[in-house]
Amino acid sequence: MNKKLNAAKKATEFISDGMVLGLGTGSTVEVMIEELSKKIKAGLNIKCISTSNRTTKFANKFGIIIHEFDSVSKIDLTVDGADEVDPYLRGIKGGGGALLYEKIVAYNSEKNIWIVDDSKLVNKLGNFPLPVEVIPFASRKLLMKFESMRLNPSIRKLDNKNFVTDSGNFIIDCKIGEIENPKELEKELKMIPGVVEVGLFIDVADYLIIGYNDRTEVLEK
C-alpha cells in the first residue's frame, strides 16, 4: 500500500489550481483520489473528468464532483495507472476494463502521468494479458481470429457472465507473452472490424511515477 500511496502523493504535486484534471481508473488512482480530496477540502480549485463509472462513484464518495467530458474543451493533466510499463514508457492498460475511455481522455489531455508501483515495470510488454475491447456482435469471430493469430485469447468473465464495459462492449484478454513490436500490434489489431480499442498505450505517458516502499522515482519521456 505504501508504494501506491507514495506514487499517488507525488502525483498530487503536479496538480495545481484552475486545472482540468482527468482521473484514470484502478486501485492506484483511487489512492490518489483520496489524497486529492484532502487538497480539495483544503481549497484546491480544480475540475475533474472521469474515465469510468467506477472512478466517478469513488470520487463522489470523497466529495469530488465529476464534470461531463463534453463540458470541457481541454484537459490539462490526466493521472492514470497501468498494468505494465516498459523502459520507453509504453504500457498495457485495461486490467480494470476502462481502456477505451482511458485512451480517449488521455488523447485529449495536454499531459499524462502514470502512477505505478515497481511491480509494474517490465523490460518487454506482454506478460500481462493484453485487453482488447470488442463489439459483442463480433466477439466470437474475433476470438477465432485472435486464436489464428496465436494471441491466446479468452473473453473476460465476471460472475460467469461476459464482462461488460462502460460502453457496453466485451473484452478479450490475450496472453501473448513478450510483444516484439507493440506499436505494430496495436495498429494491426485496430484495423480488424469489431475491435474498438486495444490496451497498448504507446505514445501516451509523459511522466511515469514509480512508487517504492520508501521513495518515488519520476521518469520523463
Catalytic (active-site) positions: 102
Q: Bridge partners of 79?
A: 23, 113
- Binding residues for ligand 5RP, per CB under 6 A? 24-28, 80-83, 93-99, 102
Work out how close the CB of 45 gets to ligand 5RP at its nearest, in angstroms, rounded to a whole number. 26
Work out how close the CB of 67 gets to ligand 5RP at its nearest, in angstroms, rounded to a whole number. 20
The residue with cell 489550481 is: 17
Work out how close the CB of 17 gets to ligand 5RP at its nearest, in angstroms, rounded to a whole number. 26
By the 8 A CB rule, do 136 and 48 touch?
no
Task: Quickly count helices (H) and strands (E) in the chain.
Answer: 6, 16
147 vs 212, which CB is nearer to ligand 5RP? 212
- Residue 158 to residue 178: CA distance in whole angstroms: 26
15 vs 100, which CB is nearer to ligand 5RP? 100
Q: Are strands 157-158 and 161-162 parallel, antiparallel or unpaired?
A: antiparallel
Work out how close the CB of 36 gets to ligand 5RP at its nearest, in angstroms, rounded to a whole number. 15
Burial class, 26, CB count within 10 angstroms (exposed 0-12 / middle 13-18 / buried 19+): buried
128 vs 146, which CB is nearer to ligand 5RP? 128
- Residue 141 to residue 201: CA distance in whole angstroms: 24
- Residue 86 to residue 182: CA distance in whole angstroms: 11
